[in-house]
Amino acid sequence: MDKEFIKLPELTLKALFDYSVATYANRPVVQFVDDEAITYRQLAQNVEIIQEMLRAYGIEPGDRVALYSENMPNWAAVYFAVTTMGAVIVPILPDFHTSEAMHIAVHAECKAAFISQKLFETMLDETQPPAMNLLVILDRLLILKKLSTPSKMDQVIKKSGEHLNKAMEKMGKEKKEEMEHVIQEDDLAAIIYTSGTTGSSKGVMLSHKNITFDASASQLVVDIYKEDRFLSILPLAHTYECTVGMVIPVLNGASIHYIQKPPTPTILLKAMASVKPDFILTVPLVIEKIYKNKILPNFQKNLLVKMFYAIPFFRKKLNKIAGKKLIESFGGQVRFFGIGGASVSPTVEKFLREAEFPYCIGYGLTETAPFLAGTNPTKTKYKAIGPVIPGTKFDLRDKNDEGIGTLWAKGPNIMMGYYKDPEKTAEVMDDDGWFNTEDIGYLDEDGYFFMSGRAKNIIVGSSGENIYPEQIEATINANNFVADSLVLDNEGVLTARIYLDYDKLDKILGIKHKSETKTHAKVAELLEEIRVEVNKSVSSFSRIKKVIEQREEFIKTPTKKIKRYLYV
């Protein structure tokens, strides 16, 4: 069936939300898995209640409101309540330590905060939240009154209904209309503090146009229907999930389902069986773990199957069968499995292609609201991301002889700048509005972007060659015994730190039953085997000279990228 393009009267979140409520009023929009759905009309009513609460406590257009919580239906209600009244939402990743969350709230000068019950309890153990007009427990919209001793939580919770009634009494209909704020496209809508792999977080300022344009442009990339179901597993405070996993489905009348518990493989599979999602957004780590832990072992369980799998003709046949089973395990309805946040392993992508699994790889940054390039599952290319989204431009600068350069982007989805940091803003944006993504790659004849790595991660070889550590890491990570890896320049020696999967080592090699001396010797032998094998697959100047075992799991960002600055 043909999908009609949705054209909004203006590119603001208020115009988007008003359109969706009017168009899809009685359709489901947000809910927990296996819980009662909230309709678009009910969500709009919740948005009005929250806005009355905010106004009653002195929150005005332009004021910042923190949102520090795990995914839940009320997250969406607060997001749209804040942004559609002209205030500024400051989503904080639940993975951030409470001290980091506090720093963000202070830096952004938030006048109100919505915090989940779980995270608020961890904050009580440390220190009080910063002084602000309003503190609300998000789960049930319970208003808190601050006390000098914050440890007695039961004494500070007041039922929000009491306060809301007072708020309603203060405001008649005429007063509310007087306070209605006209939102402009270029008004600030959100400040999103990046997790970052290179150090301290930056506050990315996104306008209403940035976010709404990004959501609208997606309609020209993939069709989304009001009957579609999204399963949300990534944190909403990350721009990827917020725009692509919430704003885009809301624009198109789809429904979003949240998981109440951490998405372990068992819980995730159960949720997929229940929801039968059409759309799932994820990061490479999820599908790579599924491939290495669930799919690949089936092709290595006996010698005969392993021999057949080594032959391309039979491998493709076996992968196609595995692909059908994978779709069934995901609920049987998935037609869009979006992978973003980092590069996917070429080995895993080859499996997805041969399995005819409906994957696609999206590319973007928090600074681009975030979707910048990508395509739908029917138009993917091996190792490619896709073309730039309609209405946005790419420019490759400082290209080498192979056409590889630094990617710059320009369009309505490019951020307003970094909050309170004009110097850092000037470092990544030129006078003509072009943004330096700091990613390196090339464009093919169809305009598909192929990413080589991050500019700041490039290692310069002894003869001046550019070495892209991400590409070497992808080859290392393809090894069945490797959980993760990091390639770095160690005083002129190309070195790989490798975090091994000891569960697999024990299952296959019985390593836990060996003496410490034998274990150490076996690990050293395995690391050398990995080094030799990897060096057969990379260019001569990218060959690893030294391998070190990483004894503890790498520290990662919420999108599961290694925080390189901690190791390099």
Pairing of strands 459-460, 449-454: unpaired
Residue 482 has pLDDT above 90, yes or no: yes
- To the nearest 10 degrees (0 to 180), the angle between helices 13-24 and 208-217 is 50
* Of residues 455 and 108, more confidently modeled: 108
The C-alpha atoms of residue 19 and residue 205 are separated, in whole angstroms, by: 24
At 161, is the pLDDT very low, low, confident or very high (cuts 50, 70, 90)? very low
Q: Name residue, tokens 């091994």.
A: 500
Task: Please state the rounded mean pLDDT for residues 468-482.
Answer: 90
For 312-366, give the DSSP string.
Answer: HHHHHHHHHHHHHHHHHHTTS---EEEE-SSPPPHHHHHHHHHTT--EEE-EE-G
- Helix boundaries (H) for 478-515: 502-509
pLDDT of residue 176: 52
Residue 559 has pLDDT above 80, yes or no: no
Task: Please state the rounded mean pLDDT for residues 85-103.
Answer: 91
pLDDT of residue 174: 45
Of all residues in the chain, the percent with pLDDT exceeding 90 is 66
What residues form DSSP beta bridges with 30?
38, 256
Q: Which residues of 234-260 are buried (b: 16+ CB within 10 A; e: fewer)?
A: bbbbbbbbbbbbbbbbbbbbbbbbbbe
pLDDT of residue 549: 93
The C-alpha atoms of residue 340 and residue 71 are separated, in whole angstroms, by: 19
Residue 264's CB is within 10 A of a number of other CB atoms, namely 10
Q: Name residue, tokens 């999204």.
A: 230
pLDDT of residue 39: 98
Kindly report the pTM of this predicted structure.
0.85
- pLDDT tens track for 198-228: 456 789 999 999 999 999 998 889 999 999 9
Amino acid found at 473: E
Residue 158 has pLDDT above 50, yes or no: no
Are residues 42 and 12 in contact, defined by beta-carbon separation less than 8 angstroms? no
Residue 480 has pLDDT above 90, yes or no: no
* Of residues 123 and 35, more confidently modeled: 35
* Of residues 226 and 513, more confidently modeled: 226
Residue 127 has pLDDT above 80, yes or no: no
pLDDT of residue 513: 66
Residue 531 has pLDDT above 80, yes or no: yes
At 314, is the pLDDT very low, low, confident or very high (cuts 50, 70, 90)? very high
pLDDT of residue 213: 97
At 169, is the pLDDT very low, low, confident or very high (cuts 50, 70, 90)? low
Task: Please state the rounded mean pLDDT for residues 299-318.
Answer: 91
With 0-12 / 13-18 / 19 or more C-beta atoms within 10 angstroms meaning exposed / middle / buried, residue 513 is: exposed
- H/E stretch holding 420: none
As a whole number of Å, the CA-based R_g of the chain is 25
- Helix boundaries (H) for 60-142: 73-84, 98-107, 117-124
Q: What angle do CA 219, 221, 223 make, to 5 degrees?
A: 55
pLDDT of residue 393: 96
At 249, is the pLDDT very low, low, confident or very high (cuts 50, 70, 90)? very high
Of all residues in the chain, the percent with pLDDT exceeding 70 is 90
pLDDT of residue 399: 93
The C-alpha atoms of residue 107 and residue 421 are separated, in whole angstroms, by: 11
Are residues 287 and 357 in contact, defined by beta-carbon separation less than 8 angstroms? no
At 476, give phi and psi (nearest 5°).
-60, -45
| Maximum mean pLDDT: which of 45-54, 117-126, 519-528 | 45-54
Task: Please state the rounded mean pLDDT for residues 320-349.
Answer: 93
Task: Please state the rounded mean pLDDT for residues 391-419.
Answer: 95
Task: Please state the rounded mean pLDDT for residues 155-172.
Answer: 46
The C-alpha atoms of residue 139 and residue 146 are separated, in whole angstroms, by: 18
Q: What angle do CA 342, 346, 350 make, to 5 degrees?
A: 125
Tokens of 436: 């330096």
The C-alpha atoms of residue 182 and residue 10 are separated, in whole angstroms, by: 12
The C-alpha atoms of residue 564 and residue 568 are separated, in whole angstroms, by: 6
Are residues 369 and 206 in contact, defined by beta-carbon separation less than 8 angstroms? yes
Q: Which residues of 517-527 are buried (b: 16+ CB within 10 A; e: fewer)?
A: eebeeebeebb
Residues 6+ apart with CB under 8 A from 491: none
At 151, is the pLDDT very low, low, confident or very high (cuts 50, 70, 90)? very low
- The full set of domains in the chain, from first to last, is 40-183 (3.40.50.980), 458-566 (3.30.300.30)
Task: Please state the rounded mean pLDDT for residues 506-517.
Answer: 73
* Of residues 148 and 135, more confidently modeled: 135
Tokens of 542: 């990218």
Residue 135 has pLDDT above 50, yes or no: yes
The C-alpha atoms of residue 182 and residue 8 are separated, in whole angstroms, by: 16
CA 139 to chain centre: 22
User: Which range, of 146-155, 307-316, 389-398, 547-556, averages the lowest pLDDT?
Assistant: 146-155
Residue 155 has pLDDT above 70, yes or no: no
At 181, give phi and psi (nearest 5°).
-100, 135
Task: Please state the rounded mean pLDDT for residues 355-359.
Answer: 97
At 147, is the pLDDT very low, low, confident or very high (cuts 50, 70, 90)? very low
The CB-based long-range contact list for 95-101 (8 Å cut-off, 24+ gap) reads: 95/195, 95/235, 95/558, 96/68, 96/195, 98/122, 98/123, 98/126, 99/126, 100/201, 101/66, 101/68
